[in-house]
């Protein structure tokens, strides 16, 4: 007998009842364990729902303030840090990275631009030498190896998803300019002043309220082998060097580390607030974080192409702006092709649509098998736009 779907808590404006229905269906029909979704329209919260379980044994209920690791949904806040510095005239996105990080010029990278880091076009999607989980958790080890390595392709010509390296690349530039690692910079400039429950990593004091990630339902070994056989060396480096998943993300070492591309922790409400800065054209809750011009620049497309790392997972070409993915013809972030956002490995999502004035945050702990466009997320996005 299937288990009864959990009670859903929070509030949802009547106009957005379809979002609540989709959220409930995620539990009944799409194997959701614990999750939350939040939506803002013109800065006002219209959906704030949560339900299910924070652990695989179903002993802890998902609460209003339950944070969870959101994987690459973290990349939006990291990009925000760089754009704040650029908006203040402290960082030139068209300057070579080596202007701020001289060691980075090694191995033919002297012409790699800051914008190439933001748009996954630097050719540094993964390291060529073996890089362990412990190495990834060590900031200096990871950034020094990235500075020394050579690109997998000619920088600036194509995008190739920098799954784990993105946060160290952009984050080291943030550190060189501001003196702060991106987690500390984000807290000082954004999440602290705005009271947003999101951080890079997770303080030990908050471990007891955090949700535990749960493995995706596995595919067969033959199916996995077929997928990996199609990956290029660059894609293998990006996605498996090191290979990380739920087991690693539940450890104290992961939560204590600075891995800005992948170990952001927060609530759905926090994700909606951070992406709401972009949908609010730089402002949130009466606070201006970016100028309107800087907020618009975030979605400045850098050219559509079949991504060199994720290409096999999409039907056609995709396009990345200066830190976030454009919805484009795939409709990953709704029907507005210029809406934008970022998905996290296994399902989570942050979405911004300035034309509609909408932001969405979705977080969960049972991971799906997709890097992007998880069916649960897509059901919520489709329900949101049906209500607008």
pLDDT score for 185: 98
Average pLDDT over residues 148-160: 97
Q: What's the DSSP call for residue 277? A: H
The token pair that represents 83 in the structure block:
């754009």
- Contact criterion met (CB below 8 Å) for 98 and 105: yes
**pLDDT tens figures, 100-142:** 999 999 999 999 999 999 999 999 999 999 999 999 999 999 9
The token pair that represents 242 in the structure block:
């090191």
pLDDT-derived band at 224, boundaries 50, 70, 90: low
pLDDT at 347 over 50: yes
**pLDDT tens figures, 50-70:** 999 999 999 999 999 999 999
- Contact criterion met (CB below 8 Å) for 354 and 321: no
pLDDT score for 230: 75
**pLDDT tens figures, 293-340:** 999 999 999 999 999 999 866 667 899 999 999 999 989 999 999 999
* Helix intervals (H) in 113-232: 114-118, 133-136, 139-148, 165-178, 182-186, 192-194, 221-229
Average pLDDT over residues 261-288: 97
pLDDT at 46 over 50: yes
pLDDT at 288 over 60: yes
User: In Å, how far are 210, 221, 381 from 190, measured between CA atoms?
Assistant: 21, 44, 26
Q: What is the CATH number of domain 70-78+184-387?
A: 3.40.710.10
Average pLDDT over residues 187-211: 97
pLDDT at 47 over 80: yes
Measure the CA–CA gap between 143 and 5, rounded to whole angstroms.
45
pLDDT at 1 over 60: no
Nearest 5°: the CA angle 240, 242, 246 is: 85
Catalytic residue from among 72, 159, 332, 348: 72
Between residues 219 and 350, the one the model is more confident about: 350
3-state secondary structure of 4: coil
pLDDT-derived band at 216, boundaries 50, 70, 90: confident
pLDDT-derived band at 371, boundaries 50, 70, 90: confident
pLDDT score for 231: 86
| Rounded (10°) angle between helices 375-387 and 17-29 | 160
The mean predicted confidence, pLDDT, of the chain is 95
pLDDT at 23 over 60: yes
pLDDT score for 312: 61
Measure the CA–CA gap between 253 and 207, rounded to whole angstroms.
12
Measure the CA–CA gap between 298 and 283, rounded to whole angstroms.
14
Query: Annotated catalytic, 332?
Result: no
3-state secondary structure of 263: strand
């Amino acid at each position: 007998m299937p288990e009864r779907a959990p009670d859903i808590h929070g509030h949802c404006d009547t106009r957005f009842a379809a979002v609540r229905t989709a959220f409930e269906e995620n539990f009944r029909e799409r194997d959701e364990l614990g999750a939350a979704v939040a939506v803002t329209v013109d800065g006002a919260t219209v959906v704030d729902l949560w339900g299910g379980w924070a652990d695989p044994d179903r002993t802890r209920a998902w609460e209003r303030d339950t944070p969870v690791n959101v994987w690459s949904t973290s990349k939006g806040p990291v990009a925000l840090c760089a754009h704040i510095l650029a908006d203040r005239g402290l960082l030139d996105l068209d300057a070579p990275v080596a202007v701020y990080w001289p060691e980075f010029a090694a191995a033919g990278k002297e012409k790699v631009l800051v914008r190439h880091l933001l748009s996954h076009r630097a050719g540094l999607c993964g390291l060529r030498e073996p890089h362990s989980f412990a190495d990834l958790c060590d900031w200096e080890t990871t950034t020094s190896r990235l500075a020394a390595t050579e690109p997998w392709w000619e920088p600036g010509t194509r995008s190739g998803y920098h799954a784990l390296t993105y946060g160290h690349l952009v984050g080291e530039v943030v550190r060189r300019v501001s003196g702060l690692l991106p987690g500390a910079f984000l807290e000082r400039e954004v999440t602290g002043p705005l009271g947003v429950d999101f951080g890079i990593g997770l303080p030990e004091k908050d471990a007891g309220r955090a949700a535990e990630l749960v493995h995706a339902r596995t595919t067969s070994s033959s199916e996995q082998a077929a997928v990996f056989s199609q990956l290029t060396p660059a894609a293998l480096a990006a996605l498996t060097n090191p290979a990380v998943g739920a087991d690693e993300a539940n450890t104290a070492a992961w939560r204590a580390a600075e891995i800005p591309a992948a170990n952001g922790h927060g609530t759905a409400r926090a994700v909606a607030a951070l992406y709401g800065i972009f949908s609010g054209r730089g402002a949130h809750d009466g606070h201006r974080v970016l100028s309107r011009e800087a907020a618009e620049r975030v979605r400045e497309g850098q050219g559509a192409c079949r991504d060199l790392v994720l290409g096999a997972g999409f039907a056609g070409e995709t396009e990345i702006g200066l830190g976030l993915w454009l919805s484009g013809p795939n409709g990953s972030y709704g029907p507005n092709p210029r809406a934008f956002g970022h998905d996290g490995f296994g399902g989570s999502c942050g979405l911004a649509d300035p034309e509609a004035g909408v932001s969405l945050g979705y977080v969960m702990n049972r991971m799906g098998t997709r890097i992007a466009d998880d069916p649960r997320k897509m059901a919520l996005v489709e329900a949101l736009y049906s209500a607008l």
